[in-house]
Amino acid sequence: MHYQNFLKNTPVRRACVLASVIVVLWLARSIMSTILLTFIFAFLVTRVLNLVRRHIPIRAVAVVVPLYLLVVAGVMYAAIHYVPEIIKQTVSLFNSVLEFYNNGSFDNNETIQWILKSIDQMNLKTQIQHWLAALLQYAGSIGAMGVTFVLSLLLSFFFTVEIDSLKKFGNLFIHSPFGWYFADLKFFADKFIDTFGVVIEAQIVIAMVNTAITTITLIFLKMPNIPSLAIMVFILSLIPVAGAFISTLPLAIIAFTVDGIKGVITIIIMILVIHTLEAYVLNPKFMSSRTKLPIFFTFVVLLVGEQLFGVWGLIVGIPIFTFLLDIIGVKKIADN
């Protein structure tokens, strides 16, 4: 009797199902990077597959296999030809920033001394040292990162190449005695995919536009190590709102070493232009008004996401929060 009443109470039943998913993901947090990368790869490839199938009825394998071969070939080519040079430029970039910070020629410059004093008071130096230590730690575990990337790519390949048979196999669970549980899982999965698609796709497009504008500005300023800077800007641009501002400090320091205060002013103007473009043109164009969050909530979600998921939380925190808003009926996404 109680079991039947539980099944009929949809909100309570779905809340229990969602809680069970959260518990499983928390227990699997040690492999969260693999889970998220697999999901992102599978999501993007599935989008391409569905786009092709709108015009041509074709088997998944005919689209997925050539697509993954291109990805693997591209990754191998980049690893052989570009990665060593980018690493070299990144090290050179770090040395330039360090040399600027320790440059004794600015000891009598009141403006520079005021900036450095302000940085010390804000404890930014300690934070930068902490970030650099974390960066070195990540670099030291580059082998593990490579294994995670390859494993995620492999898992997403098998998922997308067998997506049709997996759908049929999943329907067997829905028609089982515990079908209500798997039906609710499908409900949440569909909601999350719709939400994730709206937010992540828009953020990738915004990141590409931001990177293009920034790179053109850096070329105009004749900045060194532009490929490394462009990669940094693209990765940071995947962080909603905050990414453009986080990149300001390193870009401003390097701009100062190249073109003095004029270069810093140019960088600040560029960041303001990018933020204005993102807020008033790109977000309304690529994100529905239903997915847009107030800036205060955006920063709170980023802070909480970083604490829960680490670096990944900065990228997937907003889609997850938007998904939860959709689930509780605060902001509907799937209707768009």
Confidence of residue 143 (pLDDT cuts 50, 70, 90): low
Six token digits for residue 69: 């071969």
User: Any alpha helices (H) in the chain, and if so which ranges?
Assistant: 2-8, 10-27, 32-53, 60-81, 83-101, 110-121, 124-140, 142-161, 163-174, 179-220, 226-237, 242-246, 248-277, 283-286, 295-309, 311-327
Which range among 14-18, 78-82, 313-317 shows the weakest confidence by mean pLDDT? Answer: 78-82
**pLDDT digits 0-9 by tens, 227-266:** 777 877 887 777 766 666 667 777 777 777 677 778 778 8
pLDDT at position 336 is 43
- Pairwise pLDDT comparison (323 vs 83), residue with the higher score: 323
Confidence of residue 139 (pLDDT cuts 50, 70, 90): very low
pLDDT at position 32 is 79
- Pairwise pLDDT comparison (204 vs 151), residue with the higher score: 151
DSSP secondary structure string for all residues of 238-265: TSTTHHHHHTHHHHHHHHHHHHHHHHHH
What string of H, E and C letters represents the secondary structure of 277-300?
Answer: HHHHHHHHHHCCCCCCCCHHHHHH
* pTM check: above 0.85: no
- Cβ-contact 268, 256 below 8 angstroms: no
pLDDT at position 335 is 45
pLDDT score of 157 more than 90:
yes
pLDDT at position 145 is 67
What's the whole-number mean pLDDT along residues 320-333?
A: 76
